[in-house]
Amino acid sequence: MLRHLMYKIKSTGPITVAEYMKEVLTNPAKGYYVYRDMLGKQGDFITSPEISQIFGELLGIWFISEWMATGKSTAFQLVELGPGRGTLVGDILRVFTQLGSVLKNCDISVHLVEVSQKLSEIQALTLTEEKVPLERNAGSPVYMKGVTKSGIPISWYRHLHDVPKGYSFYLAHEFFDVLPVHKFQKTPQGWREVFIDIDPQVSDKLRFVLAPSATPAEAFIQHDETRDHVEVCPDAGVIIEELSQRIALTGGAALVADYGHDGTKTDTFRGFCGHKLHDVLIAPGTADLTADVDFSYLRRMAQGKVASLGPIKQHTFLKNMGIDVRLKVLLDKSNEPSVRQQLLQGYDMLMNPKKMGERFNFFALLPHERLEGGRHQRNARQSKPFASLVAGFSELAWQ
């Protein structure tokens, strides 16, 4: 990967941080995400679904709650962007099965957007019924099809725009943080983009440099920006625009969970290898590269087509979703000390402000009428006082 990048820079000059991230993570020949399973204890990072089943269960409850609040349609698509090993969608589907009596007249299908061949194979092993062979068609927008263990049709795509339009619930958990960012530094001459170049002192080393003049991506910076260093992610904007259009047109909702900020942080570009921080410019292709999600940018890119909620801290969202109630149920059910310890450790990792509790945020996109409808109903029919409350983002009374 380093040789490939050196050749590219020597041929065409320094490259943007966005181009560097794209090559390192998703290059078809040597990209970090394309051919490896980077999750879990042996990988480079562990995600919330890998830590505790409760996380996915509560997200499953969130989607059912939204489905019920918007009139229990006869069908919906569950769409996950970057599904990892499939653990999260597996936990959500288990909740759908457990609440089968609620969903019995609803036609559900699962749609996974995944660029990694390696991960799509792991997802299929996790989620699909072995007795039903997978249909594969590498050249098609739907490159794999099957049936889940609970009998729900499941399809794989490389791009969101290939997923059929229709009433859908979208999920993006630790998806936006790996999309390529452009980095900018404020200078006396104005904004200058950060590029990556070969170090003139050490021939096999890379370094950061500033562009000598303005670059096209500068258009993404707000005119009233007060920070002196900014990261922008055009790809995230494109996806949010697409999700907003779909939700405004056909209903549903999108739930985004990621680490990030509301337009306050500056330099968040970093690497992870073997669960430790790793210099982003050393041994490219061997470590995960990531940048915090700027939720203020996501909100802006929704362009008012839909309503947005959040970001709110993970511990607040999960507490509102009833994580304490669920933990107690699981602890009461379990006699195994090792299982109880695992549940408590998982809870601590998800909720502790010093661990994931404050680092991760939840953010949602919903049709405007979902929030406005509640106010009208409240005046018209007292029997529905909670129509405008959205689970997780409001404290709900648990009975």
- What would the pLDDT profile of 80-91 be if each residue is shown by its tens digit? 999 999 999 999
Q: Are residues 51 and 154 in the same domain?
A: yes
Residues of the chain with pLDDT under 50: 40, 43-45, 374-387
- Does residue 307 lie within any of the structural domains? yes
- Does residue 243 lie within any of the structural domains? no
Specify the DSSP element, H or E, that contains 362.
strand 360-366
**What does the angle CA 74 – CA 75 – CA 78 come to, to the nearest 5 degrees?**
150
212: cis peptide before it, omega within 30°? Answer: no
Q: 142-151 long-range contacts, Cβ below 8 Å, gap at least 24?
A: 144/120, 148/93, 148/110, 149/93, 150/93, 150/94, 150/96, 150/97
Q: Are residues 59 and 9 in the same domain?
A: no
- Bridge partners, 198 (sequence order): 206
Q: Are residues 157 and 87 in the same domain?
A: yes
- Does residue 239 lie within any of the structural domains? no
- Does residue 396 lie within any of the structural domains? no
Contact 174/81 with Cβ under 8 angstroms?
no
pLDDT value at position 373?
61
Q: Encoding tokens for residue 25?
A: 């993570």
d(CA 310, CA 244): 15
Q: Encoding tokens for residue 79?
A: 């769409």
d(CA 274, CA 42): 7
Q: Encoding tokens for residue 258?
A: 């990621």
* Residue 76 three-state SS: strand
Q: Are residues 85 and 162 in the same domain?
A: yes
Q: Are residues 194 and 211 in the same domain?
A: yes
- Cα→Cα distances 201→7, 109, 125, 198, Å: 17, 56, 48, 9
pLDDT value at position 173?
96
Q: Are residues 84 and 170 in the same domain?
A: yes
pLDDT value at position 110?
98
Write the CATH number for 117: 3.40.50.150
Q: Are residues 48 and 105 in the same domain?
A: yes
Contacts of 27 (CB under 8 A, 6+ apart): 1, 4, 34, 285
DSSP 105-164: T-EEEEEEE---HHHHHHHHHHHB-TTSPPEE-TTSSEEEEEEBTTS-EEEEESSGGGSP
Specify the DSSP element, H or E, that contains 273.
strand 270-273
Cβ atoms within 10 Å of 333's Cβ, excluding its own: 10
Q: What is the dihedral of CA 294, 58, 164, 154, to 10 degrees?
A: 130
* Residue 52 three-state SS: coil
d(CA 183, CA 266): 9
Q: Are residues 162 and 62 in the same domain?
A: yes
d(CA 160, CA 79): 9
Which among 51, 47, 48, 2 is positioned nearest to 27, based on CA atoms? Answer: 2
* Residue 391 three-state SS: strand
Contacts of 64 (CB under 8 A, 6+ apart): 95, 96, 99, 102, 103
Q: Are residues 169 and 186 in the same domain?
A: no
- Does residue 276 lie within any of the structural domains? no
d(CA 250, CA 147): 25
Number of structural domains (the chain) is: 2
pLDDT value at position 399?
54
Q: Are residues 93 and 153 in the same domain?
A: yes
Q: Are residues 35 and 155 in the same domain?
A: yes
pLDDT value at position 34?
72
Q: Are residues 164 and 209 in the same domain?
A: no
Which among 232, 224, 367 is positioned nearest to 294, based on CA atoms? Answer: 232
- Does residue 120 lie within any of the structural domains? yes
DSSP code for 357: I
Q: Give the domain range for residue 104.
A: 31-178+251-258+298-370
- Does residue 271 lie within any of the structural domains? no
- Does residue 288 lie within any of the structural domains? no
